[in-house]
Amino acid sequence: MNLADSEIVASLLSKDNYAIEKDINQADFILINTCAIRDNAEQRIRKRLRELRALQRTHQGLKIGILGCMAERLQKQLMEEEDNVSFIVGPDAYRNLPQMLDNIKDGEKLAETLLSETETYDDIEPVRYDTNGITAYISIMRGCQNYCAYCVVPYTRGRERSRDPRTIVDEARSLFEKGYREVTLLGQNVNSYRWEAESGKRKAESEEHDLFTNHYSQITNSVGFPQLMAMVAEVSPLLRVRFATSHPKDLSDELLQVMARYDNICKCIHLPVQSGSERMLKLMNRRYTPEWYLGRIDAIRRYLPTCSITTDVIAGFCTETEEDHQATLEMFRKVRYDYAYMFKFSMRPNTYAAKYLQDDVPDDVKTRRLEEIIALQGEIALENNQKEVGKTFEVLIEGVSHRSEGQLFGRNSQNKVIVFERGNLQPGQYANVKVTRCTSATLIGEVVDNK
């Protein structure tokens, strides 16, 4: 999400005659886009700011700005604590950046952190400044109002709002025409994507627009996530479509049916579980039970038998007992995730947990529980990968392998990385690759025929 936001910032600034400077020693401004989700993300930024002091001493006039969730969370306090920061800009205020940079004087401190109920930057075409030219993110909505008890996002990114689907499809089409072959639609909770044509004028416009004559063969003034996925998938069968992130409470059968209908919608679902314990899920305000979550997993397997499933999990949330932790391990054994992002709970100021709960699981216990989850997941991922040996997958080639110039790497629909001999293939092409061996993180294979 931050990557996508940085591309919007780059676009807004390049319109105003600013350019990206790759040599940090030549830059007039350094903009640091920040995350506030866990304390260690914020500590990394503070460390970076300390490291930049030396550069600031030798480079008169160099100004540092903090963008994103940390700016939003800490507001002006951040500039008081970090005196080498000249300005801060929250996630909904990036349109003010060009004017800020134009006008800021030496010694001045500026802050723009107003959150918006409508800003989606839908008219801004992101500048893909650090890209492989093959895969890209498209932000389809902003904000979140699920208020999970541990999470700072609703406070730093504001209310949920969806972007005009026409601008999303146009962006996907323009990327495809430039040679991109995969887009990932991004939102905090994509399943609650919903765009309504509000005003009469807008309604009239959208009725004329052919995008709204989609595969449901009817004209509609309201677009939900399954329809949006279908529209993007129809840009071209050669354009792969992925999405992140789904909240389990909103994962609909309709979406699974659309995924089954289009080969180019990738068969990979990221479904953050957070905990396997019913009591923890309730305390976290996740609004589903373990049984309900497992029901969604069954639905995925039913509609999409080849689909990979990945997750996020938090170890050591407030009051978590050994029994709760065991329930999480049990959930991992039942679902057998292909990949998991695994975190130690980090108390965030202002959240429900900070206001009403105690961060009472000792750090060494959190660490041990996290390590147990990581170890179990490592075994499961390896076993899952071993089952892929002998199968052939269509792979979108993304680049040259980091290990060896003679090898390429790409991903299959399930988002698994596959490495294979280069031959005369190029990044951006599709190839059919047969898996010959694997590790827990990578499949290794050989090309069987060329497309």
Report long-range pairs for 224-228 (Cβ below 8 Å, ≥24 apart). Answer: 224/193, 224/194, 224/254, 225/190, 225/191, 225/192, 225/193, 225/194, 225/252, 225/255, 226/252, 226/254, 226/255, 226/257, 226/258, 227/165, 227/258, 228/140, 228/165, 228/168, 228/185, 228/193, 228/195
Residue 270 site contact among ligand 5AD, ligand SF4, none (CB < 5 to 8 Å, cut-off depends on kind): none
Strands (E), 281-414: 308-315, 339-344, 392-400, 407-411
Residue 64: name the closest of 82, 38, 77, 39 by CA. 82
Shortest spacing between CB 63 and ligand SF4, in angstroms: 31
What residues from 16 to 55 belong to the interface with ligand 5AD (CB under 6 A)?
37-38
Residue 116 interacts with ligand 5AD (CB under 6 A): yes or no: no
Residue 189 interacts with ligand SF4 (CB under 6 A): yes or no: yes
User: Which residues, 6+ apart, have CB-to-CB distance to 449 below 8 Å?
Assistant: 432
Single out the segment in contact with ligand SF4 by CB under 6 A; choices: 94-102, 147-155, 401-409, 438-446. 147-155
Residue 345 interacts with ligand 5AD (CB under 6 A): yes or no: yes
Single out the segment in contact with ligand 5AD by CB under 6 A; choices: 113-121, 341-349, 374-382, 428-436. 341-349
b/e burial code for range 147-163 (CB count within 10 A of at least 16 → b) = ebbbbbbbbbbbebbbb
Single out the segment in contact with ligand SF4 by CB under 6 A; choices: 6-14, 23-31, 149-157, 275-283. 149-157
Residue given tokens 């038998």 in the structure block: 305
Single out the segment in contact with ligand SF4 by CB under 6 A; choices: 81-89, 93-101, 151-159, 360-368. 151-159
Residue 194 interacts with ligand 5AD (CB under 6 A): yes or no: no
In Å, the largest CA–CA distance within the chain is: 64
Give me Rg for the CA atoms of the chain: 23
Residue 36: name the closest of 188, 161, 187, 154 by CA. 154
Residue 30: name the closest of 75, 71, 84 by CA. 84
Residue 269 site contact among ligand SF4, ligand 5AD, none (CB < 5 to 8 Å, cut-off depends on kind): none
Q: How far apart are alpha carbons 424 and 426 in whole angstroms?
A: 7
Residue 422 site contact among ligand 5AD, ligand SF4, none (CB < 5 to 8 Å, cut-off depends on kind): none
Q: How far apart are alpha carbons 289 and 273 in whole angstroms?
A: 10
What residues from 295 to 334 belong to the interface with ligand 5AD (CB under 6 A)?
312, 314
Residue 272 interacts with ligand 5AD (CB under 6 A): yes or no: yes
In the complex with ligand SF4, which residue's Cβ is closer, 153 or 256? 153
Residue 269 interacts with ligand SF4 (CB under 6 A): yes or no: no
Name which position in 4, 64, 69, 148 contacts ligand SF4 (CB under 6 A): 148
Q: For 373, how many CA atoms within 13 A lie in the half-sphere containing its CB?
A: 31
Residue 188 interacts with ligand SF4 (CB under 6 A): yes or no: yes
Going by DSSP bridges, is the β-strand pair 29-34/417-421 parallel, antiparallel, or unpaired?
Answer: unpaired
Name which position in 144, 223, 256, 447 contacts ligand SF4 (CB under 6 A): 144
Q: Are 32 and 67 in contact (CB under 8 A)?
A: yes
Residue 189 site contact among ligand 5AD, ligand SF4, none (CB < 5 to 8 Å, cut-off depends on kind): ligand SF4
In the complex with ligand 5AD, which residue's Cβ is closer, 125 or 312? 312
Q: How far apart are alpha carbons 188 and 191 in whole angstroms?
A: 9
Single out the segment in contact with ligand SF4 by CB under 6 A; choices: 142-150, 255-263, 355-363, 375-383. 142-150
Residue whose CB is nearest to ligand 5AD in the complex, by number: 312
Nearest 10 degrees: Cα torsion 315, 317, 322, 325: -40
Residue 150 interacts with ligand 5AD (CB under 6 A): yes or no: yes
Helix/strand/coil for 167: helix
In the complex with ligand SF4, which residue's Cβ is closer, 147 or 356? 147
Single out the segment in contact with ligand SF4 by CB under 6 A; choices: 23-31, 141-149, 193-201, 369-377. 141-149
Total residues interacting with ligand 5AD, rule: CB under 6 A:
12
Single out the segment in contact with ligand 5AD by CB under 6 A; choices: 74-82, 95-103, 229-237, 343-351. 343-351
Residue 365 site contact among ligand 5AD, ligand SF4, none (CB < 5 to 8 Å, cut-off depends on kind): none
Report the interface residues with ligand SF4, using CB under 6 A: 144, 146-148, 151, 153-154, 188-189, 247
Report the interface residues with ligand 5AD, using CB under 6 A: 37-38, 150-151, 272, 274, 312, 314, 343, 345-346, 348
